Amino acid sequence: MMMQERTHKDATGAILFDAALSPQVGRDWFALEYWRGRDALRTQAGGRGGVAIIVTPIGECVLRHYRRGGRVAALMGDRYLWTGADRSRPFAEFRLLAEIARLGLPAPTVVAAGYCRHGLFYSADLITRRIADASTLAECLARGRLDGELAEEVGALVARFHRAGVWHADLNAHNVLVASGEWYLIDFDRGRLRAPAVAWQQANLQRLRRSLLKLGAASEGEAAFEKAIWQPLLHRYQRTLDA
């Protein structure tokens, strides 16, 4: 189904949505209270993103509220400096996900993005279709399921995005999903399309490596991790990149 991008402006901001999925998306879609009142709020997770699973007229979706991390969060929380609609975090991610879908790469299907203006700042949300019965790479690691074969699949996944010039701003083990044997990348906030180049591709891979090490993937020593996990991942990555 080809995307039909539509924009709806209101007194507080604007909503960008795919009319091919839903002919109309209102401001209520971004309010947890709206879904809770309809017994359509399934789960709500904490953390930086403020992620919830909602049951919409088009099926289960993920509602993510944009929130800053690190030291800036104490000052800004969920506010971002306004520099225009097209440069807002949700609109940029919406359009990147639309392009990723056009390229045939595995990522969540984007449904809607919205922002609310607050003077010189704005707050924002994004809605994507939920990938059912998925586990993150971090969860696979915690369950002892990360082996060379699994690592090869991850390498192939990352290579497909890199070959297409898709840069993920936060490539870590929590943003790699597997569901029914299929692999996906999620959370493309601040991601963008770039001309393929070894420098940023390798930096992206090193970010993923640091994430795995931080989560304990080298519990038997870094040399063992290198041989059993990282080298198979890199080998499959390079083969896929060169294909």
Do 31 and 44 touch, CB atoms closer than 8 A? no
Question: What phi and psi, each to the nearest 5 degrees, are found at residue 166?
Answer: -95, 115
d(CA 101, CA 104): 5
| DSSP at 242 | H
| SS3 state at 59 | strand
d(CA 101, CA 207): 24
Tokens of 162: 């890199």
Tokens of 94: 């919406």
Q: Which helix (H) or strand (E) holds 95?
A: helix 89-102
Q: Among residues 170, 187, 189, 242, which one is catalytic?
A: 170
Catalytic annotation present for 147: no
In 3-state terms the chain splits into helix, strand, coil percentages (rounded to 5) of 40, 25, 35
Tokens of 215: 């989560």
Tokens of 198: 């070894």
Q: Which amino acid is at 174?
A: H
Tokens of 7: 């924009």
Tokens of 93: 């991610």
Cβ atoms within 10 A of the Cβ of 58, count? 14
Which residues are catalytically annotated?
A: 170
